[in-house]
Structure 1
């Protein structure tokens, strides 16, 4: 049974289900490519930036700038690119950047949730419409004849839309949960890296203030 024959036997609900399946697959493939692209080098970027920030703040900023094609790079570059400021401003820059990047990581999530909700309902609607059509053709005199066997076949074919809707919903749900787990891990990573970078920045500003204080004392003496 080819795709076109399956669509015809499944009834009119199969066409919106086909549209939903195409939308779902497009989001799934796009998100898979997105996550494979960013997770590949993320840990190396974080380690390089944090290590450089302990000694050379400008080098850390340059490393983050080179990684701006990835969310973690943009997240780190936003506070590092600030002119010398108080730690509170630095923390606000981290939080603002994290919120923006995490929102981008949730792209397509609402569409998948809509597909998960609509697919079973459309499948059930197709089955109900098929049953109505099949049962409407039954006559009392046809009971026990081959005509009833044809009706049974029609009822079986009407269940195709329900099966299709469930398959689409289950597949979309599995990938939606997978992508949500990736986002959850990113939230933990951003929180951990942000705290380490903020602590490094506080130590950096403290050393800088102590150095300026010592220099002023030498000039005054």
Structure 2
């Protein structure tokens, strides 16, 4: 990296005329955008709004997913250190951004409805369905506004292409009206029209990357919720099969058995 910067600095010092082309290209781009027709300008405005919306969704989702990941790790540590379900239920709201809390709450409520939270559950299938329902609802909530990101990623290039096609039509229409069939006459109009295609790609590419990354995170959350649901059901069944021992016997039991006595 240092060598690259030094190399670039050397050429900039040796050739002072190296900087102006960048400024010239920038000014030419601004001039082409300024000279765009009403259709191309409207397309650029639409793409700008779509870009702002897509980046807002991506930043919002990354922030919420990061909080959910952090709280999920904390909730799992608290759950695995706990001795009773009631202890976790009392502090579950502290880990609310985590989708695991929804799974735990749904299973715990169903377990309480069946037999008051003691003994083997009368209907284990109902507990599994409760876990699946909670996972589905949590994922649906986390997927909110993701369809907008996918839509922007899919249609932004076509919106830009529409502006390009209309610009080329205007350029050739002006060429036919002027009657001057030269490259100098048609090149400015075509170059201005192609800006919308480039803008569409600039909007679509980050949206595609962001959508794919966020979708991968959602699949990870779904897998973690399924694993946690099975872990919680196993813990309930294992604890229910162990009869509550006397205090003296409880001290002699292994730590894992004492810990899972709910």
Relative to the length of structure 2, the TM-score reads 0.71
- After superposition, the C-alpha distances for 1:126-170 in whole angstroms (9 at most, x for unaligned) are 0000001111111474234xxx52420110111011011111111
Structure 1 residue aligned with 2:169: 132
Aligned alpha-carbon RMSD (Å): 2.5
- Pair 1:74-2:102 in alignment: yes
* Deviates further, 61-70 or 155-164: 61-70
Q: Secondary structure of the residue that 1:207 maps to in structure 2?
A: coil
| 3-state SS of paired residue (1:142) | coil
Q: Report the counterpart of residue 181 of structure 2 in structure 1.
A: 143
The alignment partner of 2:241 has SS state of helix
What residue ranges of structure 2 are gaps of 5+ in the alignment? 1-26, 247-262
In the alignment, structure 1 residue 24 sits paired with structure 2 residue 54: yes
Q: Do residues 182 (structure 1) and 217 (structure 2) align? A: yes
Query: Aligned equivalents of 1:117 and 1:94: distance in 2?
Result: 34
Structure 1 unmatched ranges of 5 or more: 212-221
Shift of 1:210: 9.7
Query: 2:91 matched to 1:91?
Result: no
Partner of 1:48: 78
CA distance in 2 between partners of 1:30 and 1:156 (Å)? 36
Q: Secondary structure at the match of 2:87?
A: helix
Which of residues 33, 57, 60 in structure 2 aligns to 1:6? 33
Structure 1, residues 13-65: CA drift from partner, whole Å, max 9, x if none?
A: 2122122112212211211211122112321211211331xx31211222323
Residue of structure 1 equivalent to 2:188: 153
Runs of 4 or more above 6 Å deviation: 2-5
Separation in structure 2 between the aligned mates of residue 72 and residue 6 of structure 1, nearest angstrom: 50
Number of residue pairs the alignment of both structures matches: 206
The offset of 1:4, in angstroms, is 9.7
Cα distance, 1:93 vs structure 2 = 1.9
* Equivalent of 1:163 in 185, 198, 203: 198
- Any idea what SS the aligned residue of 2:96 has? coil
Paired with 2:205 and 2:140, the residues of 1 have a C-alpha distance of: 24
Contact 1:64 1:74 in 2 (8 A): no
